[in-house]
Structures are given as C-alpha cells and as structure tokens.
Chains A and B, each alone.
Chain A
Amino acid sequence: MSGSVALLGVRHHGPGSARAVGAALEQLRPAVVLIEGPPEADALVHHAADEDMRPPVALLAHVAGDPARAAFWPFAEFSPEWVAIRWALAHEVPVRFIDLPAAHALALTPEGQDEPGAGHDPLAVLAGAAGHDDPETWWEDVVEHRRGGDALAPFEAIGEAMGELRSGLGARAGESSRDAVREAYMRLQVRAARKEFGDAVAVVCGAWHVPALAAVRTVTADRQLLKGLPKVKAELSWVPWTHRRLARHSGYGAGVPSPGWYGHLFRAPDRPIERWMTAVARMLREEGLPVSSAHVIEAVRLADTLAAMRGRPLAGLGETTDAIRAVMCDGSDVPLALVRDRLVIGDVLGEVPAAAPASPLQRDLARLQRSLRLKPEAAVKEVDFDLRKDMDADRSRMLHRLRLLDVPWGEPARSRAGLGTFREAWRLCWEPELSVRLAEAGVWGTTVEAAAGARAESLAREAGALADVTALAERCLLAGLADALPVVMRALADLAALDSDVGHLARALPALVRSVRYGDVRRTDTAALAEVAAGLAERVFVGLPAACAGLDADAAAEMRARVDAVHRAVALLADVNADAGGDGMGERWAGVLKALAERDGLPGGIRGRAARLLLDDGRLDEERAARLMGLVLSPGTPPAEAAAWIEGFVGSGSAGGMLLVHDERLLGLVDAWLTGVPADAFTDVLPLLRRTFSGFEPGVRRTLGEAGDDGDGGDDGHARDRRNGGMRMTTSTDSDTTERLRRWRLVLGREGGEGGDGTGAVLGGADAAMDRTLEAVSYTYKRQFPRRASPAGWGTSGRTFRHPSFR
C-alpha cells in the first residue's frame, strides 16, 4: 500500500467485498472516502443519504441534449461502493468520486455504455490459476465467504494477487490506454486528497486498479497522459434501477447473475444457507407446492454435504440450487425457474427521492415538448393530427410511446374531422401523477424512444396471450418503434407456435396482415412481420379443417367469418410476398379450402363458403361447383344444412345473386331443391334463405323471381327465352307451379316495391303474415347495421328469428 492510504480493491457488486469494505472502514475511520466513479456526481452524492433513496439505483451520465449517449454506474445495496458511500454519509465524512470525469468518458466512448473496470476479467485468470473453472465460485470461496479476522487482510492479499496478475498480463496484453488514462486521473485525485486530508484516506475501487494506484508515478507523467482529452458537456442524475437490469449482461446490465442471492448474502446476519432455504420454501409454498420444514432440513444437509464433496468451505448458489432441485422440486426445473426468477434475481425496484435532479427521460420529454410545441397542461384539450404532416406524425409517435411507458398524457379519442386513415384524434391531459410515472419509467431508458422500445420488448417477453402481442405489434408500429419489432415478432411467433386454438390464430392473422400493410404505408421494414404472418398462416392452414368440425350453428357462423377473414388476409399477404416469389401460399390455402368444401360433416355454411371462395378465384371450375352443390342439395342432406350451404355459397352480396342469374345449372339446382323441400322443412329454413336472398339488388331478385316463374307458361316471355336451365324441366302441373312461385316469392321478399321479386305470385293470408314478419325483421336489421349485409354470429339455423306464427 502506498503510505497509509488504504486501497480497498473490490469486486463490483460483490456482497463479500461490501461487507469487507464496511468492516475496513469501521476499523480505519478515514477522514475522506474516495470512490471509483464520475467526479461530477460529488454534487449528487448527498441524495444517497435520503430516506427515500432505495437501491438498486444508478448514477447516469449523459451528453447534454443527447440522452441516448449515456454511461451508468449502478449500485445495489450489496455494492461495496454503495456501502462506502452510506458509511461516509452516516459518519459525516466527505465522499469524492475519483474516476475520469464523465465529460471525458462520454466523449471517449462514441455511444453506448462503459462499465467501470471492464476490459479484462482479472478474476477469471486468478480463479483459473487456483484451479477453479468458475471465477464467481472462486471469489465466493476466497473473499465472499470469509468471516472474522483483520478487516484489512483480505484487501492486502487481493492487492498482491492483482499485482502479480497485472505484471504477468501487462507484458503480454498491454494495458488498455483507456485504463491508463483513468488510473492516471485517479492517482492525481488520491494525491490531492492526501494533501487535503493527510494520510487517513480510503480508496474503494475495482481490484484491478489497486496495483496501478499503489504504483509511484510523477505528477508530470500523469498530467501528460491526461492532456488533450476530448470533452463534452455531461449531465448527471440518479435513476431507479432494477435487479433484473443488474442481471442483464448487455445494454445497461451490470452482468451480476444473481442479485437477489447477493442481496441475501449481504443482509443475512448468520446462517445464510438455512435462511435462504427457508425463503425458498416459503415462496414455493405460496405457489401451492407442498414444501415442509422437513424439506428445508434435508435441502440444507444436502447443500452442505455437496459443498464438502466439492471441496468448498461453504455451500454457494450452485450447491443450494442443486439441493433445492433434488429435495424441494422433485428434480424438476420448472419450479426451479420460479426460484431463479423471484429470488435469485428478484423483483426489486429501486427508488429515487423526488428532490433529486430530473432524470434524462424527463429532460428528453421536456425537449420533445418544446420542439413539438405541445405543452403539458392540466386542462383537458382535444387535438386532431394530420399524419401526413411531419410535425403531427412526430407528435402522434411521442404520445403513443408515452402510452407504452404507462404515461397516458394523451388518450386516443374519436376524431371530429372525419375518419380518414391519416387522421388521429387525441384527448390531452397532464395530471401531476404523470411526473411520478415518468420518473418510474426512467428504468427503461434515457430517451422517450429508447425507453418505450425497451418497455415494448419487456412486454413482449412477458405476454401470455397471442392477442396481447398482436396488439403490441400494432402499438409498436403506431409508436414508430421499429427496433423493438423483432423482439415483439419473436414473441408473437413463439406464442403462435404454442397456441393450439386455431380460432386465436385465425383472429390474430388479419390484424397482423393489416400491420404489415400499415407498416408498408409508413415505410417501416416489415419483412420480419411478413415472415411471422406467413408462419401464422401456415399454422392456420394446418389446424383449420379440424377446428371446423363439430361446431354448433353460432360457432359455425363465427368460423365462416374467420374463413373469410383469413381468405382476405392470405390474398393481401400473397400480394406483399409476391416480391419474395410468393412461395405458393395461395396454392396451399386453396388446398385447405378444397378440403373444407369437400369434407362431409363440416357445417354447411363453411363448406358452401369454401366452395364459393374457390370458384371466385378460378380454382374450382363450374362443373365441379355444380357437382358439389348437387350433392349438398340432394334429398339426403337435412334441409337446414342445405340452406346453410346456400347461404355460405351465395353469400349476401349482390355478386352471389349474379352468380345464380348467370349460371343456369346452379339456379336450376337451387330451384329443384327449393321445390323439393318438404313443407315443414321449408318453413324452418325460410328465415335463413330470406336473409340470404333479400340482400341481393332488386334487379337481381327480379331476374331470379322471373326465372322461378319460368315454368308458368304465362307472361314475361322475354325472360324465359334466354333460358333452358334445369328449372324448366321441373315443371309439371299447375299446383306445383303455384307452390314453387309461392316459395320463391317468400324467399325473395318484395322489398323495392310490389312485384320487386318478379315472381308475380300473390300470397295467401298466412303466407302474407309470415312475409310481413320477415320483412319487419329484415328492415330492423338493416337499420341497425347499414354497412353490413349479414351479421357475423347470426345463427344460420334461423332459430333466433323464427316467429311463432310460422308454425
């Protein structure tokens, strides 16, 4: 050690180091504590003593005006640096941060983060030399589990070991220039502190730096190293942190694999293994697993014996985990994952007092509010955005991003200026609590965009239902978070793969394809999206035929609507994928439709619909369509099924009617069937048929009616001359003809005026009553749903609308 300056070399975020530092400071009672960290934070350090400050927290430095360029120094309660800060503040000893100022550090790192002490893994080398394959284990054995004795002894040993290590490494790998600069700066700071406070100086720094700080260098040499460093304006703040974030290896993570376990080791006054096992047992019990005290006893015994067999002084995380698996979890990894998530990592969220300076996220939002000219106001205000304008599009994105961060400054509202896709209406209201929420959202990132992206990714990872993720994908597109999209898509693909309900998949597909199209409009890269949509479509193809079997009438109608939606989605998707060669998705979908159309036992509506979709796409020739129809409309099929098939096949748009008008054969089949249905059955299926046929254009209905009138041999000869279909052959006697006309008349209705049906039939008393009722039902329905021809979920059995008077 250099003079009597105490160099406390630590392992960042090591609970053993933290304890040792606490004990060493108690023994040393220094006049000043120097800590590896950005000196700009000296002004903020007093917040650490605040009642409301709860670790994990981080010091965040970012380039002024550019919060995306940031560096961080996270502190957990078990971080040695944090222990040193709290000790100094409690004993009213000054704290100084002595690392290279963030102003230089940020300028040296073009972007991203820099973890203090990174670059080498000195511990891996030391542990390897000691015959341990895992540096964590080795450190635990040598330092973390060390108890009692001289508080400074371990630090001396570590300093020596590091000295050996660096002299060995330094020759080969050389020291990174970055480290050399930082250490020069630290040496100068230590020297300045000695001048001011004498020798009672304690330095808490990464173990790696100890030999460099102990080395004797001239002031001039150190100053020389620091000359001409680039510099930016840096702003610092405290931000709340989480254990999960500490555990992450990339991004803002600190790479601490087990913060919860470390926290436990740090807190537990004694018997750490017993206490840990008890905590695990309690947690598992709350989750409904039968774990008794006997389990705890056996688990502790097993962990201790395992440690002894592995030649370790105390059971570590590895031994306890193995013991928990074997004794409490019946060897299964499933409950163990819970232990890992809840306890080993832990759900701890830090807090920063309100008095601390604004977080980068708050500053970023303030900057956005200025540049987008959208002031936070407590009064409710409604605004309309025209997304074709850049400013409005940016505003919309900002509000969508804030909503993702649970800062609902704006709520989407109904637009007053019309419903164009480029219009968006918002209701704005800034409640004071939103500031608090914004501060909480600081854990997600330093800018609104980055934070929203991180939040979206986290939501995607946690999502349990397919619909949640599709909605999230849409929100990401609205918020312009293209970077988060791959993660969301991945979650979507995973959930889709595991979801066995084809209904869910079929429901998710159209929304997803819409997103693909929408992303196209906004020039987002949607290749990944299209790929996921294609995967989803394949799964729907595979599962759909089985999912259509055994449905009741309502479910069948719903499924028919799904088939339609999937059909449209596949067409759109094939469009989007056309550049990529299309890869035959249309063909495969046609194969599925064919299977649906030809499979006996599926609901008639779905089979009819499938046949029709194939016919429209030219994948089913008319010959074959007529054969299918003939089979369904033959006497063997229950009339209700046949009627449902007709509804599915002709649909309710006018195109279906035109199909019948133009194809003699099809109309002939319908006519023959209609005439042949027993009277009782006819009354049963009438409401359904009426709904189907009355949706046609008046012209079409008239033509159909005239066709029905064909066999009459009476007037309207011009309509007949064009035809030689099957109907004409079915004519025989007058009474048959009358009955047929009556049926056509009832099926077609007479909306569009008397004679609008073209049959020329006049209805008798009971029939007229029935007709009026049907008309009333149809009228009410059309008033309620002016845009939709046929409601999804309207039972195809007609049961819902069967009037008592029909009987």
Chain B
Amino acid sequence: MTVPGIETEALRPHAEDAFADELKALAAADDRPRPARWKLSPWAVATYLLGGTLPDGTVITPKYVGPRRVVEVAVTTLATDRALLLLGVPGTAKTWVSEHLAAAVSGDSTLLVQLSLIHRQGWDYARLLAHGPGREALVPSPVMRAMAQGMTARVEELTRIPADVQDTLITVLSEKTLPIPELGQEVQAVRGFNLIATANDRDRGVNELSSALRRRFNTVVLPLPATAEDEVDIVARRVDQLGRSLDLPVAQDGDSEIRRVVTVFRELRDGVTADGRTKLKSPSGTLSTAEAISVVTGGLALAAHFGDGVLRAGDVAAGILGAVVRDPAADRVVWQEYLETVVRERDGWKDFYRACREVSA
C-alpha cells in the first residue's frame, strides 16, 4: 500500500524510467522462462513489485506493500494471457500497481487508454487527403499499438467508460483482433498483448460492467491497509506532503489525532471495533484512506487558521461527520450509535466525544 522512494515533483517520471536500474538488475539475474515478449519472468515481475534482494546484492525496493497473494495472482493472470481487472476503493494504489506491472512486463507503462479512446484510432488528415484511406493515414490508438507490438495496455477507471465503448473491449479480449471497418482490415494481437484495467468497486453505479466483459477478466481486489499502523503511516506521510505544498504551518502533536481519525474510519469501515469485541453498522460512504487524509488536512487548516495551531478533536470532528454521514437519515443513526456505544465509553476520548456531539447536534 505504501509508496516509498518517490518524491513528488512537478513532473513525474514513468515507472520504467524511475526504476530503470532495478529492472536492469532483475533482467540480468533472471534465468527463469519468460512468456513471449515479456521483459522479465513472472517471478521477477513479482519480485519487482514486492521487493527483495538479488543474488548480486542489488536491493529491489518494494513498490507495493500489501498481501503477497495479490501481486502473485495479478502477475500470474497476465502470464496466463487473461486480462487483469484491479478493483479497490479510492486510495488503494490500483493505478500505481497497474503502472508498475506494465513497466515490468513490457518495459513501457505509457500505453494508457483514456476513457472513450479505446479503439477510436485517429486519422492523419494530411495523409488521408493526400493518399486516401490506408494504414499509413491511420494514427494508432494505444490498444492498437499494444496489440500490434505484443505489449501491455492499461485502461483506467473502467466503470466510468460508457457501456458501448466497454463492449468493444469484449471483441479485443475474446477475439484478440481490432477491426478497422473504414479500411475493411483488422489488427491482430500478437503474443504478449494483454490488458490491465482498474476500477473503483464502491461506485459501481456509473457504468456497471456487463457480465460478458467481466467474464474476460480475472479480478484482483486491492485491500485497504491491513493494520492501523500501516494506515496511520500512510495518512501521516501524505498529510505531511500535502501540508507542505499548501504552506500550512506544521501542527504539533497531530499524530494522536491522526491515529484517532484512522481508528474511527477503520472501525466504521470494518463494522467492528478495533479490539474486535463489538460489531457496528457501517455507513454508506467509502471511508477510504484518501478521505481520512482529506479530513486530517482540513483539520490542520482549521487548526492553523482559526485555532491555536495544534490539531485538536474539534478540528477533525466536522470533517469526520461529513465523511461518515453521506445519507442524512441512515448514516446519522449509524454515526450516533457509534458515538454513544463506542466513543463515549472509550478512555481518553472524552474531548472527541464532546466535539462530535457538538457538531452532530
């Protein structure tokens, strides 16, 4: 889940450039069989994502910190020539994983399809007018290029793509051909072509995947951070980065409040208290790590501009309320139950309880 080793800069290098050395070292050390047109063997791809130390002493940094199984299933899926669908709530590093997978497998993470442009290749109008329709006048789309060269194409936010465009993917994935009706031709995929899609599994409503399309993917769900420690770590680091770029004064003693926000989010999300003793209702919202980050950032701004510069319960209470109570009727009950049955009894949470009561009233 964590994303180490990358300083956010104005221009972000592609994964294959940022980690070129590691990829090179892996390729050198890798003596296992590689599927056609793969730059590395599946084992080396998994090592690239999960990190490790090579026999020659090169340290591979972990790109994805999470269950080993997730990465292994994802890589194996690509190796069995099946398309891969990465599902997860916002902030679970779906895009990050897909980029690094493409970089490791094909050495190129840039064959990225944007929304409706899946098969819509463009025309080079100068050529089109000069020479008439023909392959030379065609500007190939990323999917077309990936098919022709046996590379890995990537599709972002699959559920946001209109249904009719999704349907064209079915042909690509099952027939492995892309027809070009204007020319009466087609592009046939060569071995090594594959596709990684990402989708948000919380707001399915936008353009639900048809079962025909779904069947052509192996699905891997990227889980939320496994432990509270991991999540606090992610939130704290990200808040720090954001805070610096927004020039917020550094709050003192913010860690305990961050921990509290993460605890509240995790408990409501999992529907059970951290000690595992009491079950809870879950609200309708996602309560993702990304939202926890924005709650804390908002709280910091409040503390800096209207408070005494110290992040306190009152600064995050309103943000939490907003994140939890999405549906005014049902979620409010969920929230109040949580306040009365869990927060009120908890040692050292009195200030938080009072602050929440204040904003909830």
A residues near B, CB below 8 A? Answer: 290, 292, 294-295, 298, 301-302, 305-306, 309-310, 318, 322-323, 325-327, 329-333, 493-494, 497-498, 500, 535, 538-539, 541-543, 546, 588
- B177 at interface, CB cutoff 8 A: no
Instruction: Report if B188 contacts A (CB, 8 A).
Output: no
- Complex interface: chain B residues within 8 A of A329 (CB): 219
Query: What residue in chain A is nearest B273 (Cβ atoms)?
Result: A497
Q: Which chain B residues (310-347) contact chain A, with CB distance < 8 Å?
A: 329-330, 333, 336-337, 340-341
- Taking the closest CB of chain A, its distance from the CB of B111, in whole angstroms, is 23
Would you call B279 and A298 a contact (CB within 8 A)?
no
A306: which B residues are within 8 A, CB to CB?
Answer: 72-73, 76
B219 touches A331 (CB 8 A): yes
CB neighbours of B211 from chain A (8 A): 290
A-chain residues with CB within 8 Å of residue B218 when the two chains form the complex: 298, 302, 326-327
Bound: A500/B211 CA distance, A: 32
Q: Which of A290, A298, A305 contacts B79 (CB 8 A)?
A: A305
Q: Does B340 lie within 8 Å of A322, measured CB to CB?
A: no
Which chain B positions have C-beta within 8 A of A497?
278-281, 337, 341
Binding site for A on B (CB under 8 A): 42-43, 46, 69, 72-73, 75-77, 79-80, 82, 85, 87, 201, 211, 214-215, 218-221, 271, 278-281, 329-330, 333, 336-337, 340-341
Task: Say whether, besides A290-B211, A539-B337, A498 and B72 are in contact (CB < 8 Å).
Answer: no
Chain A residues, Cβ within 8 Å of B278: 493, 497, 535
Taking a contact as CB atoms under 8 Å apart, the answer to whether A330 and B219 are in contact is yes
How distant is the Cα of A494 from the Cα of B43 in the complex, in angstroms? 43
Cα distance A494–B82 when bound, in Å? Answer: 41
Q: Are B80 and A542 in contact (CB under 8 A)?
A: no
Contact at B80–A295, with CB atoms within 8 Å? no
Residues of A within 8 A of B280 (CB): 497
Contacting residues, chain B, for A301 (C-beta < 8 A): 80, 82
- Per the bound structure, the CA–CA distance linking A329 and B75 in Å amounts to 18
User: Which one of A322, A493, A546 lies within 8 Å of B69 (CB-CB)?
Assistant: A322
Q: With contacts A298-B82, A302-B218 known, is A326 near B337, CB below 8 A?
A: no
**What are the residues of chain A within 8 A of B46 when measuring CB–CB?**
309
> A residues within 8 A CB of B85?
331
**Across the interface, which residues of A come within 8 angstroms of B72, CB to CB?**
306, 309-310, 322
Of A292, A498, A542, A543, chain B has the most CB atoms within 10 Å of the CB of A542
Q: With A305-B79, A542-B336 given, name 6 new contacts (CB 8 A).
A: A305-B42, A309-B76, A327-B219, A331-B201, A331-B219, A331-B220
Q: Is the CB of B87 within 8 A of A331?
A: yes
Nearest neighbor of A295 in chain B, beta-carbon distance: B215
- Assuming A331-B220, A332-B221, is B340 touching A541 (CB within 8 A)? yes
Residue pairs across A and B with Cβ atoms less than 8 A apart, 26 shown, are: A294-B215, A295-B215, A298-B80, A302-B76, A302-B218, A305-B76, A305-B80, A306-B73, A309-B42, A326-B218, A327-B219, A331-B85, A331-B220, A493-B278, A493-B279, A497-B278, A497-B279, A497-B280, A497-B337, A498-B279, A498-B281, A500-B333, A541-B340, A542-B337, A543-B337, A546-B333
A535 near B73 with CB under 8 A, answer no
- A42 to nearest B CB, angstroms? 47
Q: Which residue of A lies closest to B42 (CB)?
A: A309
* Among all A-B residue pairs, the 8 with the closest Cβ atoms: A331-B219, A331-B221, A497-B279, A494-B279, A326-B218, A542-B336, A330-B219, A306-B76
Q: Which of A309, A318, A539, A546 contacts B329 (CB 8 A)?
A: A546
- With A301-B80, A302-B82, A326-B77 as known contacts, state yes or no: A292 contacts B215, CB within 8 Å: yes
Query: For the complex, what is the distance from the CA of A539 to the CA of B337, rounded to whole Å?
Result: 6
Q: Is the interface of A mostly helix, strand, loop or mixed?
A: helix
In this complex, what residue of B is CB-closest to A304?
B80
Contacts of A539 in B (CB 8 A): 337, 340-341
User: Do the beta carbons of B80 and A538 come within 8 Å of each other?
Assistant: no
Asked if B219 and A326 make an inter-chain contact with CB atoms under 8 angstroms apart, the answer reads yes
* B-side contacts of A302, CB under 8 Å: 73, 76-77, 80, 82, 218
Query: Could you tell me the distance between the alpha carbons of A298 and B84 in the complex, rounded to whole angstroms?
Result: 12
B73 interface neighbour in A290, A322, A332, A500, Cβ under 8 Å: A322
In the bound complex, how far is the Cα of B344 from the Cα of A539, in angstroms? Answer: 13
Min distance, Cβ A153 to any Cβ of chain B, angstroms: 30
Q: Which residues of A contact B77 (CB under 8 A)?
A: 302, 326
B80 and A330 contacting across the interface, CB-CB below 8 Å: no
State the CA gap A539–B220 with chains docked (Å). 37
Complexed CA–CA distance, A623 and B171 (Å): 78
The answer to whether residues A500 and B220 also contact, given A306-B76, A538-B341 and a CB cut-off of 8 A, is no
Contact residue among A292, A295, A333, A542 (Cβ-Cβ distance under 8 Å from B340): A542
Question: Chain B: which residue is nearest A292 at the CB level?
Answer: B215
Chain B residues, Cβ within 8 Å of A333: 221
| B43→A309 contact, CB < 8 A | yes
Cα distance A294–B214 in the bound complex, in angstroms: 12
Bound complex: CA A329 to CA B279 (Å): 26
Q: Which residue of A lies closest to B69 (CB)?
A: A322
**How many angstroms between the C-alpha atoms of A543 and B46 in the bound complex?**
49
Contact B82 A500 (CB under 8 A): no
Question: Could you tell me the distance in whole angstroms from the C-beta of A141 to the nearest C-beta in chain B?
Answer: 17
**Best-buried of B46, B72, B201, B330 by chain A (most CB within 10 Å):** B72
Most buried by A among B73, B76, B329: B76
In the complex, A329→B278 CA distance in Å? 29
The CA-CA distance from A290 to B213 in the complex, in Å, is: 13
- Residue of A323, A330, A493, A535 near B214 (CB, 8 A) is A330
How far, in whole Å, are A188 and B58 apart by their CA atoms in the complex? 58
Inter-subunit contact B220/A326 (CB<8 Å): yes
Nearest-Cβ distance from residue B101 to partner chain A, whole angstroms: 14
Q: How far is the CA of A498 from the CA of B87 in the complex (A)?
A: 26
Q: Which one of A322, A497, A535, A588 has the highest number of Cβ atoms from chain B below 10 Å of its Cβ?
A: A497
Q: B281 to chain A: which residues have CB within 8 Å?
A: 497-498, 500
Which residues in A have their C-beta under 8 angstroms from that of B220? 326, 331
- Roughly how many angstroms separate A301 CA and B278 CA in the complex, as a whole number? 41
The distance in angstroms between the C-alpha atoms of A323 and B76, with both chains bound, is 10
> What residue in chain B is nearest A299 (Cβ atoms)?
B218
* Least Cβ–Cβ distance between B5 and chain A, in angstroms: 25
**Alpha-carbon distance A546/B75, docked complex (angstroms):** 50
Q: Is the CB of A538 within 8 A of B340?
A: yes
Cross-chain contact of A535 among B69, B75, B201, B341 (Cβ < 8 A)? B341
**In the bound complex, what is the Cα–Cα distance between A497 and B267 (angstroms)?**
13
Minimal beta-carbon separation of B311 from chain A (angstroms): 28
Alpha-carbon distance between A543 and B79 when the two chains are bound, in angstroms: 52
For residue B214, which residues in chain A have a CB less than 8 angstroms away from its CB?
330
Tell me which of B75, B219, B279 contacts A309 (CB under 8 A). Answer: B75
A327 to B221, CA, bound (A): 12
Q: Are A543 and B341 in contact (CB under 8 A)?
A: no
Closest residue of B by beta carbon distance from A495: B279
Residues in A neighbouring B333, C-beta threshold 8 A = 500, 542-543, 546
Q: Chain A residue with minimal CB distance to B282?
A: A498
Most chain A CB atoms below 10 A, which of B214, B336, B341: B341
Cα distance A310–B42 in the bound complex, in angstroms? 10
Nearest to B333 among chain A residues (CB) is A543
How far apart are B345's CB and chain A's nearest CB, in angstroms? 9
A588 to B85, CA, bound (A): 50
Distance in Å from the Cβ of B71 to the closest Cβ of chain A? 10
B156 to A: closest C-beta gap in Å: 18
Q: What's the least CB distance linking B321 to chain A, in Å?
A: 15
Tell me the smallest distance from the CB of B52 to a CB of chain A, in Å: 14
In the complex, what's the smallest C-beta–C-beta distance from B32 to chain A, in angstroms? 9
Most chain B CB within 10 A, of A290, A325, A588, is at: A325
Q: A292-B215, A294-B215, A309-B42 are in contact. Are A538 and B337 (CB under 8 A)?
A: yes
Q: How far apart are the CA atoms of A255 and B260 in the complex, in Å?
A: 38
Closest CB in chain A relative to B197 CB, distance in Å: 12
A542 to B334, CA, bound (A): 9
Least CB distance from B95 to A in Å reads 17
Q: With A500-B333, A538-B341 as known contacts, state yes or no: A309 contacts B79, CB within 8 Å.
A: yes
CA distance A424 to B278 in the complex (A): 36
- Chain A residue with Cβ nearest B81: A301
Question: CA–CA, A318 to B80, complex, Å?
Answer: 18
